[in-house]
Structure 1
Amino acid sequence: MRSLFKTVLSQSKPIVDEGPRPDDREAAAVSESKEAGLTSDERPPSSDGDDDSINKDAQAGVQKMEAITKTWKTRDLYIAYFMIWLIYFVDAIQQGMGTILTPYVTSAFQEHSLTATISVASSIVGGVSKLPLAKLIDIWGRPQGFLLTMCCMIIGLVLMAASNNVNTYAAAQIFYWVGYNGISYVTTIFIADTSALRNRGLVLAYTSSPYIVTVWITGPLAQSVLNGVGWRWGFGIFAIVTPIVCLPLYFLFAYNERKAVKSGLLVRQKSGRTAWESIKHYFWEFDIICVILLSAGFTLFLLPFSIYSNQKYGWKDPTTISLIVIGFVTLIFSAVYEKYWAPVKFLPWELLKDRTVLGACVLAAVLFVEYYIWTSYFTSFLQVVLRLQVWQTSYIGNIYSIGSCFFSIPVGLAIRRTGRFKWVALYFGVPVTILAIGLLIHFRHQGTHIGWIIFVEIIYAFAGGACVICEQVAVMAAAAHQEVAVVIAIEGLFSSVGGGIGSTVAGAIWTGVFPHKLKEYLPAETQDQWATIYGDLVAQISYPVGSATHAAIVAAYDDALRNMFIAATTITVIGLVAVMFWRDIKLKDFKQVKGNVI
């Protein structure tokens, strides 16, 4: 991996991008495309000149990043990418371990059925938060946004370690996912700022490669935590480790920004506003009202689908109905407010009209919907039905991480060599994803050899790695440098909302099928214990294989998972249609960033 990275880096040279104004963008793109002999579907959105000066029309955060890349040495570039790799490494361990621990946390509060529900609000808020974060890093700077998201992640970890009920844990998850998604988002922007467009798929693959290693660590670590210090310290340890790992990257960028200021390359200008005027300015600049409306609307609308079975009258319960209605009305109102009243527009409507951007965002949403539908209770299935240990479950569950990250490297090389990305997603990524999930419909039964599950996970992982790289390259290729932050934020919003929808669907299927089938199948001697069995993973595992109660639990799992796999397979077809609408942009010979980059 190191030699591959060095090979690409050694071929890098200062790359320039004048960054034309929006009104000149199309004309410049057409002119350069004619010279290159490209059709309208092949050309990127902007042209690049030979002027290496900082784009004065860009926002302050973009100018700062261009100044940093023009100031720092190749050594700093190496150090930055190593630090990003290390951050991904630590975050991957924590996130993978947290996924394993969450069912045990909810079971400790006798609320195992809320495993999927908890991720709904955190996924949505974590995704919506990327848009104001995009504004923040474009206005204030990348390092400042990185520092803010790191603090959110630490707060979430501390709250998870200290939580005494499922409500506190759910709130902690929101802080955690805002921070986790934010760190991942800002580092992705770092990558976009410091890599050429044709190399970006390969660089994204490099920075995600830690998952190849962490897959072997998270399972034994989670098992050790459960058997030793307990799940609270499992989160507490990372509350200490996270700032130690993240702060050096912040200081590296801050140091080079200061160098750019001292050299006169970057001029800091005072706003001339008072403190109160600044508060009002950024309140409207970040479109806080729309952020609140979107977050509340999606959360209120989606939550009832996973908790309706806990209400007295189910779907007819006044609470269920009112949450759906209020959530729907709030979403409509947020769109109306954004279109007619917002002083600063939150959503870049012009960018969303680009079929490549919109198609990539739809694919991102679909991939998260299907993933969370079939994986929300998959680790529980492996332990209860196939009787795997926690560490074995971790290995199976993390095949996607290691496989997708491993396969994204040859995908990145293929994109770099051919200068194309659409064909990878259209002819391999999405079709094989549909095939893999469809095969799980058949392999969900008790007695299935674990080798078949591993085989399906591997081909699903390879396809997923191809889809993710192509989707990210697509949104970046369709935007100018000064628009990269916002299009990645939009892609992240679609992904997180897709994850929330997927968790909602999984929760709705689980709560709508599993408890009813469980009561139907349980033998008479354990009928009165159905509520405990339904809400506690440990109780489900405690019944020996071959007993009537275990057989009943397995049968209930079988019915619930069948519906989940069918739903996931069906929804993925939409992703295939979305990829068909992408423009087949040629990445070769086009430059998007400036300075000393890869």
Structure 2
Amino acid sequence: MPSALRRKFFASSVDPQEGSSSSASASEFGTAEMHLQDPERYAPHGESKHAQNEVTADQASEEVPNEDAQAGVTQAEAITLSWTKSSMIGTYALMWSIYCVNAFQSNITSNLSPYITSGFEAHSLLPVISIISSIMGAATYMPLAKVLNLWDRTVGLLIMLVFFLLGLILSATCNGIGTYCAAQVFYAIGSAGLIFCVDVVTIDTSTLRSRGLAYALTSSPFIITAYAGPAAAEQFYATNWRWGYGTFCIVLPCVVLPFFGLLRYFRSKAKKNGLLKPKAASGRTFKQSVWYYIIEFDVLGVFLLTAGLALFLLPFTIAGSAEEDWKTPHIIVMLVIGFCCLIAFALAERFLAPVPFLPWELLANRTVIGACLIDATYQISYYCWYDYFTSYLQVVFGTSLATAGYIGSIFDVVSGVWLFCVGFAIKGSRRFRWLLWIAVPLYILGIGLMIYFRKPGFSVGYTIMCQVFIAFAGGTMIICQQVAVLSASDHNNAAAALAFLNVFGNIGGGIGGSISGAVWQHTLPNALQKYLPADALADWETIYEDLATQLSYPMGDPVREAIIKAYAVAQSRMLIAGTCIMATSLVWMFIIKDVKLTKTQTKGVLF
């Protein structure tokens, strides 16, 4: 194992430089002391007093926040310059706890969702809910990154907690599919935003070289919750599924508020130490402030993006239920207006926005473009088949809710462990692109094999094997994408760069959900009508809409066998679409530069 991998995870002030060592630092102590006594006498040959003063100024700048950066970035640097290693460890423990609670509730609610929608006789609406959630998540990242940069990391954290709790409360109390869908919008904004805030703080508190390892640590709770979640979901379903949401209304604030308080405490400490100067009055009137924030938060851009995605993606899912399918006028109108809104968004960001979301030079960076394209392609491919995966396992293989959840959680367990290996590999090699060359082909192989093994008659073990391949590859890609976009930006633009990556990912998830919904609605009803016995043909709509009805027929029953055949056809087409789309990533991975991770971005006591 390379010696670099055996070094401590934590570094102080800046990234370690090539060839540096503690012994070298110790040997230079005496020289530094003599410089203080007589800088002219002990200066290296040819070095002037002016040059020494420049070095001293550079060293001093490393010990104070960058005042030219945005307020949120300056405050983050002041915090890491004010705390100790034990404080930093405590912060990571709290971030780990937030990830743990979020992963646990996400695992529970994702397993309950098919039954909740079936209870409202709307099982086929799963992709619609997924699309809306993805769209709202994508629309959240841009303004949230602005909040974190313009104001404070803790302000964004508190806002997202409120949205998260509102979504959980509405989900726990809903009595119809409309309220449930609205609840999922608030839930999607809060959940995605809260984790984004934690990820940005992870950027603030880690070196570029160790960032992959830091992300592996904060996301490791998925290893624990992957198997606890499905078992808990089964118990909640057996008693009262509403408590699957209500429980976390109590638990979530218990882990988020201490994290909020810790960051606030060290921000206050930084002010007392003189690292943060008092904020000067803006001098703006109320109307001027409103206009200022409209410009800064790019309200026009956010509106165009959200409207464009919603209007363009939803028709792919709802067209199947329209009377004239794709010929229905409102379906055509939605597609046209949605496409025009997306074009208008791109043009507005390039030519009209006084404060664009990201600097144009960063948007044109090939590493950023390549990473975002891989993320979008990966998410499209994944959500082409994932939304109905646990339903497929229960119907085709006769697994229980818990067992289906366990199989669906293989990704979380395997990738959670594997991420540490990826983090160490990036930290040791100081490069990440070589990992993509392994991960992308492996992911394509995993999905491709599922096309073959999804047929009735094969053991569920083959599906589990494919899930393991997908987990190894998917976990590697996720870390490499994040490190790639962050390696191309500085600390001032890091939150925006990460938000940009997440926007692409959410858009990809929305497109994948649209494809999944379109395939489901255009395949399963026809397949059911083709394969169902004559005495059950009149009930095909009830069977189509309700998972519980599908499972009510025992294995071996002619109706159940017909349902299994219909599922196999639908799942096959979803997987073929996912495999073909993912194949384009073989091109995207060559766009990314082979960046060496030696750049210093952050200051203070770091991971």
TM-score (structure 1 length as normaliser): 0.91
Shift of 1:272: 2.5
1:330 aligns with 2:341: yes
Q: Among residues 162, 173, 192, which one is paired with 1:181 in the alignment?
A: 192
Aligned residue type for 1:500: G
Q: How does 1:33-44 map to 2 (within 5 A)?
A: none
1:210 aligns with 2:221: yes
Task: State how far apart, in whole Å, the 2-side matches of 1:366 and 1:339 are.
Answer: 24
Q: How does 1:25-36 map to 2 (within 5 A)?
A: none
Shift of 1:167: 1.8
Shift of 1:183: 1.2
Larger Rg: 2
TM-score (structure 2 length as normaliser): 0.90
1:473 aligns with 2:483: yes
What per-residue deviation string (whole Å, max 9, x for no partner) do you get for residues 151-196 of structure 1?
Answer: 1111111111122221221111111111111111111111111111
Task: State how far apart, in whole Å, the 2-side matches of 1:206 and 1:219 are.
Answer: 23
> What residue is the counterpart of 1:591 in the other structure?
600
Shift of 1:345: 1.6
Q: How does 1:520-559 map to 2 (within 5 A)?
A: 520-559=530-569
> What residue is the counterpart of 1:449 in the other structure?
459
SS for the counterpart of 1:215 is: helix
Task: State how far apart, in whole Å, the 2-side matches of 1:15 and 1:263 are.
Answer: 20
Shift of 1:292: 1.3
SS for the counterpart of 2:589 is: helix
Task: State how far apart, in whole Å, the 2-side matches of 1:324 and 1:80 are.
Answer: 46
Shift of 1:337: 2.9
Task: State how far apart, in whole Å, the 2-side matches of 1:49 and 1:578 are.
Answer: 39
Q: Among residues 539, 559, 572, which one is paired with 2:582 in the alignment?
A: 572
1:510 aligns with 2:520: yes
1:8 aligns with 2:8: yes
Aligned residue type for 1:8: K
Task: State how far apart, in whole Å, the 1-side matches of 2:408 and 2:346 are.
Answer: 38
Instruction: Indicate if the aligned counterparts of 2:381 and 2:582 stay in contact, CA closer than 8 A.
Output: yes
> What residue is the counterpart of 1:433 in the other structure?
443
Aligned residue type for 1:68: I
Instruction: Indicate if the aligned counterparts of 2:117 and 2:177 stay in contact, CA closer than 8 A.
Output: yes
Q: Among residues 270, 273, 280, which one is paired with 2:284 in the alignment?
A: 273
SS for the counterpart of 1:544 is: coil
Task: State how far apart, in whole Å, the 2-side matches of 1:161 and 1:174 are.
Answer: 14
Shift of 1:343: 2.7
Shift of 1:8: 3.1
Shift of 1:391: 0.6
Q: Among residues 131, 134, 158, which one is paired with 2:169 in the alignment?
A: 158
Task: State how far apart, in whole Å, the 1-side matches of 2:111 and 2:127 are.
Answer: 13
Q: How does 1:54-73 map to 2 (within 5 A)?
A: 54-73=65-84
> What residue is the counterpart of 1:192 in the other structure?
203
Instruction: Indicate if the aligned counterparts of 1:16 and 1:595 stay in contact, CA closer than 8 A.
Output: no
1:370 aligns with 2:381: yes
Aligned residue type for 1:545: M
Task: State how far apart, in whole Å, the 1-side matches of 2:14 and 2:66 are.
Answer: 13
SS for the counterpart of 1:447 is: coil
1:497 aligns with 2:496: no
Task: State how far apart, in whole Å, the 1-side matches of 2:287 and 2:257 are.
Answer: 30
Task: State how far apart, in whole Å, the 2-side matches of 1:68 and 1:274 are.
Answer: 31
SS for the counterpart of 1:593 is: coil
> What residue is the counterpart of 1:380 in the other structure?
391
1:248 aligns with 2:254: no
> What residue is the counterpart of 1:264 in the other structure?
274
Instruction: Indicate if the aligned counterparts of 2:15 and 2:209 stay in contact, CA closer than 8 A.
Output: no
Q: Among residues 71, 76, 82, which one is paired with 2:87 in the alignment?
A: 76
Task: State how far apart, in whole Å, the 2-side matches of 1:194 and 1:545 are.
Answer: 53
Instruction: Indicate if the aligned counterparts of 2:15 and 2:207 stay in contact, CA closer than 8 A.
Output: no
Question: Which deviates more, 447-456 or 523-532?
Answer: 447-456
> What residue is the counterpart of 1:221 in the other structure?
232
Instruction: Indicate if the aligned counterparts of 2:5 and 2:427 stay in contact, CA closer than 8 A.
Output: no
- Which ranges in structure 2 are unaligned for 5 or more consecutive residues? 17-56
Task: State how far apart, in whole Å, the 2-side matches of 1:288 and 1:317 are.
Answer: 32
Q: Among residues 85, 110, 114, which one is paired with 2:121 in the alignment?
A: 110
Task: State how far apart, in whole Å, the 2-side matches of 1:351 and 1:292 are.
Answer: 22
Aligned residue type for 1:550: R
Shift of 1:276: 3.7
Task: State how far apart, in whole Å, the 1-side matches of 2:157 and 2:513 are.
Answer: 27
1:131 aligns with 2:130: no
What per-residue deviation string (whole Å, max 9, x for no partner) do you get for residues 235-262 of structure 1?
Answer: 1111221111111101100111011112
Task: State how far apart, in whole Å, the 1-side matches of 2:8 and 2:303 are.
Answer: 43
Instruction: Indicate if the aligned counterparts of 2:301 and 2:349 stay in contact, CA closer than 8 A.
Output: yes
Task: State how far apart, in whole Å, the 2-side matches of 1:385 and 1:513 are.
Answer: 16
What per-residue deviation string (whole Å, max 9, x for no partner) do you get for residues 528-564 of structure 1?
Answer: 1011000000001111122221111111111111111
Task: State how far apart, in whole Å, the 1-side matches of 2:560 and 2:465 are.
Answer: 27
CA distance 1:5–1:191, change in 2 (3 Å) = farther
Aligned residue type for 1:215: A
Q: Among residues 469, 484, 493, which one is paired with 1:459 in the alignment?
A: 469
Q: How does 1:349-360 map to 2 (within 5 A)?
A: 349-360=360-371
Q: Among residues 400, 408, 414, which one is paired with 1:397 in the alignment?
A: 408
Aligned residue type for 2:548: V
Instruction: Indicate if the aligned counterparts of 1:16 and 1:49 stay in contact, CA closer than 8 A.
Output: no
What per-residue deviation string (whole Å, max 9, x for no partner) do you get for residues 321-353 of structure 1?
Answer: 111112112222222333333232234432121
SS for the counterpart of 2:79 is: helix
Paired residue total: 561
Aligned residue type for 2:73: V
Q: Among residues 405, 422, 434, which one is paired with 1:423 in the alignment?
A: 434
Shift of 1:16: 7.7
Shift of 1:55: 1.3
Task: State how far apart, in whole Å, the 2-side matches of 1:545 and 1:92 are.
Answer: 33
Task: State how far apart, in whole Å, the 2-side matches of 1:268 and 1:575 are.
Answer: 48
Instruction: Indicate if the aligned counterparts of 2:394 and 2:551 stay in contact, CA closer than 8 A.
Output: yes
- Which ranges in structure 1 are unaligned for 5 or more consecutive residues? 18-47
Taking only aligned residues, the RMSD between alpha carbons, in angstroms, comes to 1.7
SS for the counterpart of 1:580 is: coil
Task: State how far apart, in whole Å, the 1-side matches of 2:110 and 2:454 are.
Answer: 21
SS for the counterpart of 1:144 is: helix
